[in-house]
Chains A and B, each alone.
Chain A
Amino acid sequence: MSSNEEPKTTDVTEDAHGASPAHSPSPEKSGGGAYLFLSFIVGLALSMVVGWAVFPKVLYSKKSQPVDFSHKLHLEQVDNGCESCHFFREDGTFSGAPKLEQCIGCHEEVMGESENEAVFVEQYVAKEREVPWLVYARQPDCVFFSHAAHVYGAKLACETCHGNIGASDTLKPYEQNRITGYSRDIWGHSISGFKRNTWDRMKMDDCAECHETAGIHDSSVQTGRDACFVCHK
């Protein structure tokens, strides 16, 4: 701050944001503070905008599903609820997104006039190509999730984790995290990680939270909670 040391020889700088001579109670001093504060606020505001609004937009890329699909419409047609299509195999494993095999029973020919239906039948059914569905709830490879334990064991409803997908008319865009490659649904829609419903997030903490409140096991020596190998592989 060389200018401060030589106040007499130096004019007050025209730079409003510049440092004022220390001894001078000039109006610039309080104005400088205001500017400083203003800069701070601007920085704060800008970064908040970036962090809360821009960042999520940049972080996730949006992809649409290969074919749109109405869970609602299908749920009305089947007798066994979600399990009609998302069923358990005989060995207790869960089938996940249905394969063409299950669709083909009804969709051998184009039904109705929907454009998606036409695409589905022509591009996939006719060519015997599986639909490359983008799975919102896909977990990383290190995770072992047992649907059987939750559906048969704990008698949880599908909605507990997946929300009321059965009521949806269309498939929302699949948002993929550009860094991790995972679906946005794992972290949850809220960028702050805030959740209102049990199905809003699917991170490990969310699993652990439910396990803890449900009082399932406390067998981990390391954490005093549920053991690592229960959900990892």
Chain B
Amino acid sequence: MKLSRRCFLSLVVGGAAGTALTPLPWKITDDLSIWSQNWPWTPVPPDGAGSYVASTCTLCPGGCGISVRKIDDRAVKIEGAAGHPLNDGGVCMLGLSGLQLLYSPTRIQSPLKRVGERGQGQWQTITWKQAIGEVAGKLGDIRQQGKPEALACIAPKDTGTVARLMDRLMAAYGSPNFFRTPSVEDAYEAVLYLTQGVVGHVGLDVENADFILSFGSALLDGYGSPVRMFRANSRLKEMHGTVVQIEPRLSNTAAKADRWLPLKPGTEADLALAMAHVIIARNAADRGFLEGQTQGFAAFMRMVQERYTPQSVAARTGIKANVIEEVAMKFAAAKRPLAICGRGKGQVPGSLKEALAVHALNALVGNINATGGVTAFSAYDYIDWADVVTDEVAAKGRQTPRLDGAGSDKYPNARYLLNHLADAADNIQALLVAESNPCYALPDTRGIKAAFDKIPFVVSFSSFMDETAMNADIILPNHVYLERFEDVPVTFGAGYPTVGLCRPVVEPLYHTQHLGDTIIQVAKALKGSVGASFPWPDYKTCLKQSLGDKWDILKQKGVWVDASANPGIETASGKIVLMDDTLGAVYTADEVPAPGDAATYPLVLVPYDSIRLSSRYIGDPPFMVKTVSDRIVKGHDGFVEINPETAAKLSLADGQMATLTTPVGEARVRVNLDNGIMPDVVAMPRGLGHTAYDEFLAGKGVNVNQLVGSVDDPASGLDAAWGIRAKLA
């Protein structure tokens, strides 16, 4: 039987009618629409039991408490820890993005040994045993040659068990060349030592101040313990307190301040001393305090009277004499005035003169070691280890002068001068770099890179493939902070000595190892007196023993605050020194200039800090880059901020590409016309222009550190560069 067309059609019609009487079409339509809503490549995050782990953020020196939300074994969200003495629930953008670091593809997943040339990025995966053996072997050789001082070490801090273990390794090994990365802490520490005889840290009681006079400190862009500064600022708004911001550009802090004093950059010390002059001349100083608790006031008074009248500094600073007088008097009239210094986040130490001058302002209003003022706390002493075992090599090595000149007759007021690395590098045979990225984050990156090129053996402990790790010979990756225990002492920006506990939120994801364990293992592998100086089997034991009874407090509360710490004055006279021969020499020194000649470079380039850009060890996670304005980065182009008036003089239009040249480098940038910046000054943010990391960060904008150099403060040797001369065409 053959099927005719008609019958076939009939069959089809019947089939269609029949199908319509079945659920098939409706069911398929429904299923297809569901399918189209649930592409298999759209991730479905697995659900599970929710929990929170309390820890401490270590992404910046701020030491905020965090609370990490987990679903089963995954960390899914970082929040600020409510009730924490520093940040009470608030948290910054970097802290919030921490999980993008934990789960980042740029993490180093196991120890790596360089094959190929440095910087080429060719690595061989090695085991931890090999890695420790390799490092200990090299260090052993150098020590064998009797040159232990040729080992140097860079760490972001010198307190806390991990930093102290590194320092201890250096001591037992026999090298004095431990470097802490530079910051305004260096300047503050020198000031506290010179004026109050205290070896320790500065406490800024911003919570109780009612008038904050900020010499360019980015209170709202990451200065000190950042969230604490935000909270203090909001509290001041509520109680109608005052913030005066002194800097050449309308930063977020300046915009939110009650008063913005746009001064010519680099003249902060002049302004501070002129204000001191006004306060003394108008008899607004705290006489009782000055007489009872200070020495050298008369000499100080003479100095400011002779050299720093408001009229004489008005032209230099660009701030009118009557404004200087008005602000100085308001500062003196406030109940709890507080003057602070350190430009931006305080990543550059700045000049000692400036820090001293600002400290003197606090002394004049009697706000030192007082509520709402500046306090001096002695260094953290909870780590009480037995002396290192010292053999002859170590004894001899430790006696050698520091390669950077810190503590020498020339630079008696500095402890670490990493800005001298280029000079020191000739004599460094091995360098250990922990939790810092000097090849990116230090000014004059070209000079730093050249210094690295001279050092035959560079060991990085970085968790991420950053610029410094790229330039290392071997990488022994540390756990990231969400995978490890660590004590986190807050040495700058807290009101009281504060120690947080960083604790693991998740199990380590990769074959990384705690830096503390790595140091202990390297020391043990070096054997002899070096190994004997490390009696602990592992870091956790060391941490627990070191913290003693604080371990339980920290485990329970996550943070320990020594509110009973006594701020000290430990000078011979028991008084705060306002002026003596040493200080006199500092005060009479000239201002630190911006390098470059004005004829070739008519503009001044100042780097600035933004809380949306991480500019230290940590590279910006994708979330942060996403928030960066298209007036700062567009595609791969970075912008330079310039006053429209200045741009008009140079015939530059908004958005136009131009070449920014300074004595140390040049870069192609786009022009960003902004009314908030002083004419003839141009500004660029720190934290861009990475060459390492992934496509979410690398190659975006320009690293301003390539364009600025380092300038020695004549008084301290610290880096006091606040800018550099530049031209834009």
Q: Do chains A and B touch in the complex (CB under 8 A)?
A: yes
> Which residues 1-25 in B have Cβ within 8 Å of A in the complex?
1-4, 6-8, 10-19, 21-24
When the two chains form their complex, are residues A89 and B50 in contact, meaning their CB atoms are under 8 A apart?
yes
Q: Does A174 contact B (CB under 8 A)?
A: no
| Contact mask for chain A residues 11-43; partner B; CB cutoff 8 A; 1 contact, 0 none | 000011111000000000000100111111111
Partner of B4, one of A17, A179, A180, A181: A17
When distances are taken between beta carbons in the complex, the residues of chain A under 8 Å from B31 are: 59, 177, 179-180
Central interface residue in B12, B23, B37, B47, by most chain A CB within 10 Å: B23
Q: Does A193 contact B (CB under 8 A)?
A: yes
Contact check: which of B10, B15, B24, B35 meets A36 at CB < 8 Å? B10
Closest-by-CB residue of B relative to A89 is B49
Contact A46 B34 (CB under 8 A): no
Name the one of A38, A39, A48 contacting B22, with C-beta atoms under 8 angstroms.
Answer: A48
Task: Encode B537-581 as 1/0 by CB contact (under 8 A) with A.
Answer: 000000000000000000000000000000000000000000000
Is A120 part of the contact surface with B, judged by Cβ < 8 Å? no
Q: Are B22 and A140 in contact (CB under 8 A)?
A: no
Tell yes or no: A55 within 8 A of B by CB.
yes
**Are B12's CB and A43's CB within 8 A?**
yes
A48 to B32, CA, bound (A): 21
Given contacts A42-B11, A51-B24, are A180 and B38 in contact (CB under 8 A)? yes
Known: A47-B18, A47-B19, A180-B35. A95 touches B6 (CB 8 A): no
* CB of B415, distance to nearest CB on chain A (Å): 49
Q: Which residue in chain A gives the minimum CB-CB distance to B2? A: A15
CB distance from B122 to the nearest CB of A (A): 38
B27 within 8 A of A: yes
Whether, in the assembled complex, A197 has its beta carbon less than 8 Å from a beta carbon of chain B, the answer is no
Residue of B nearest to A41 (CB): B14
Q: How far is the CA of A19 from the CA of B4 in the complex (A)?
A: 9
Q: What B residues does A52 contact at CB under 8 A? A: 22-23
**Residues in chain B near residue A44, CB distance under 8 A:** 14-15, 17-18, 21
Q: How far is the CB of A162 from chain B (nearest CB, A)?
A: 18
- A51 engages B49 (CB within 8 Å): no
Interface SS of chain B: helix, strand, loop or mixed? helix
- Shortest B325–chain A CB gap in Å is 59
B599 within 8 Å of A by Cβ? no
| Residue B239 at the chain A interface, CB threshold 8 Å | no
Whether, in the assembled complex, B28 has its beta carbon less than 8 Å from a beta carbon of chain A, the answer is yes
Cα A180 to Cα B23 with chains together (Å): 16
Indicate whether A91 reaches chain B with its CB closer than 8 angstroms: yes
Q: Is B44 an interface residue (CB 8 A)?
A: yes
A192 at the interface (CB under 8 A from B): yes
Q: Which of A17, A37, A95 has the most CB of B within 10 A?
A: A17
Chain B residues with a Cβ closer than 8 Å to the other chain, count: 37
Residues of B within 8 A of A177 (CB): 31
Residue contact B21 to A51, C-beta cutoff 8 Å: yes
B14 / chain A contacts, CB cutoff of 8 Å = 39-47
Return chain A residues, CB-CB under 8 Å to B10: 36-37, 39-40, 43
List, in ascending order, chain A residues with CB within 8 A of B45's CB. 141
Q: Which of A181-228 contact B (CB under 8 A)?
A: 181-182, 187, 191-193
A18 nearest in chain B by CB position: B4
Residues of A close to B24: CB separation below 8 A: 50-51, 55
User: Which chain B residues border A64 with CB–CB below 8 Å?
Assistant: none
Q: Which residues on the A side are within 8 Å of B1 (C-beta)?
A: 16-17
**Most A-side CB within 10 Å, residue of B7, B28, B50:** B7
CB-defined contacts of B22 to chain A, threshold 8 Å: 47-48, 50-52, 55
Shortest distance between the CB of A54 and any CB in chain B (Å)? 9
Residues of chain B from 31 to 89 with CB closer than 8 A to chain A in the complex: 31-32, 34-35, 37-38, 40, 44-45, 47, 49-50
Contact between B27 and A59, CB atoms less than 8 A apart:
yes
CB closest chain-B residue, reference A51: B22
A39 and B11 contacting across the interface, CB-CB below 8 Å: yes
Would you give the 0/1 interface string for A86-125, flagging 1 where the beta carbon is closer than 8 Å to chain B? Answer: 0001010101100000000000000000000000000000
Cβ B23 vs Cβ A43 within 8 A: no
CA distance A39 to B10 in the complex (A): 6
Bound-state Cα–Cα, A179 to B22, Å: 18
Distance between B636 CB and nearest chain A CB, rounded to angstroms: 36
Q: Given A43-B18, A44-B18, A45-B18, is A93 in contact with B50 using a C-beta cutoff of 8 Å? A: yes
Closest chain B residue to A45 by CB distance?
A: B18
| A39, A45, A93: residue with the most chain B Cβ atoms closer than 10 Å | A39
Q: In whole Å, how far is B44's beta carbon from the nearest beta carbon of chain A? A: 5
Task: List chain B residues, Cβ under 8 A from A91.
Answer: 50
A91 vs B34: C-alpha distance when bound (angstroms): 31
Contact residues in B for A142 (Cβ distance below 8 Å): 37
State how many angstroms separate the Cβ of A11 from the closest Cβ of chain B. 16
Q: Taking the nearest CB of chain A, how far is it from the CB of B24, in angstroms?
A: 4
Cα A193 to Cα B30 in complex, Å, equals 12
How far is it, in angstroms, between the C-alpha of A140 and the C-alpha of B34 when the chains are bound?
A: 9
Do A181 and B27 touch across chains, with their CB atoms under 8 A apart?
no
- What distance in Å separates the Cβ of A156 from its nearest Cβ neighbour in chain B? 21
Q: Decide: A46 and B18 in contact? CB cutoff 8 A.
A: yes
Nearest Cβ on chain B to A22's Cβ, whole angstroms: 14
- Bound-complex Cα distance A15 to B47 (A): 66
Shortest distance in angstroms between A36's beta carbon and chain B's nearest beta carbon?
5
B13 touches A40 (CB 8 A): yes
Which listed residue (A19, A47, A179) contacts B6, Cβ 8 A? A19
Residues of B within 8 A of A32 (CB): 6
> Given the complex, which residues of B lie within 8 Å of A180, measured CB to CB?
31, 34-35, 38
Chain A residues numbered 120-149 whose CB sits less than 8 Å from any CB in chain B: 140-142
- Whole-angstrom CA separation of A182 from B31 in the bound complex: 9
Q: Say yes or no: B34 contacts A182, CB within 8 Å.
A: yes
Name the B residues within 8 Å of A179 (CB-CB). Answer: 28, 31-32, 34-35
Whether the pair B23, A193 counts as a contact (CB closer than 8 A) is yes
Cβ proximity bits A39-80 to B, threshold 8 Å, 1 near / 0 not: 111111111101110010001000000000000000000000
A18 / chain B contacts, CB cutoff of 8 Å: 4, 6
Give the shortest distance, in Å, between B5 (CB) and chain A (any CB).
9
Select A51's contact among B3, B4, B23, B37, beta carbons within 8 Å: B23
Given A51-B18, A89-B50, A142-B37; A17-B3 close (CB under 8 Å): yes
Across the interface, which residues of B come within 8 angstroms of A17, CB to CB?
1-4, 6-7
Contact with A along B195-221 (1 / 0, CB 8 A): 000000000000000000000000000
Which among A32, A42, A43, A45 has the greatest number of chain B C-beta atoms within 10 A? A43
Restricting to B142-197, which residues have a CB under 8 Å from any CB of A? Answer: none
Q: How many Å from the CB of A10 to the closest CB on chain B? A: 16
A141-B44 in contact (CB<8A)? yes
Closest to A178 in B: B31
Measured between alpha carbons, how far is A192 from B27 in the docked complex, in Å?
8
What is the CA–CA distance of A32 and B7 in the complex, to the nearest angstrom? 9
C-alpha gap A13/B212 in the complex (Å) = 108
A45 to B21, CA, bound (A): 10
Q: Which residues in A have their C-beta under 8 angstroms from that of B17?
A: 40, 43-44, 47
Give the Cβ gap from B4 to chain A, nearest Cβ, in Å. 3
Complex formed: what's the CA distance from A141 to B42 in Å? 10
Taking each of A36, A47, A182, which has the highest tally of chain B beta carbons within 10 Å of its own beta carbon? A47
In the complex, A142→B39 CA distance in Å? 12
Chain A residues, Cβ within 8 Å of B35: 179-181
A140 touches B38 (CB 8 A): yes
| Chain B contacts for A95, CB-based, 8 A | 49
Interfacial chain A residues near B19, Cβ < 8 Å: 47-48, 50-51
A3 CB → nearest B CB, Å: 12
Q: Report the Cα distance A93→B49, complex, angstroms.
A: 8
Q: Give the nearest-CB partner of A192 in chain B.
A: B23
Question: Residues of A with Cβ closer than 8 Å to B?
Answer: 15-19, 32, 35-48, 50-52, 55, 59, 89, 91, 93, 95-96, 140-142, 177, 179-182, 187, 191-193
Return 8 A-B CB contacts under 8 Å, by A number: A47-B14, A47-B22, A59-B27, A89-B50, A140-B34, A179-B28, A179-B34, A192-B23
Besides the contacts A17-B7, A181-B38, what 7 more A-B pairs have beta carbons closer than 8 Å?
Answer: A44-B17, A46-B18, A48-B21, A51-B19, A181-B40, A192-B23, A193-B27
Nearest 4 A-B pairs (CB), nearest first?
A51-B22, A43-B14, A47-B18, A17-B4
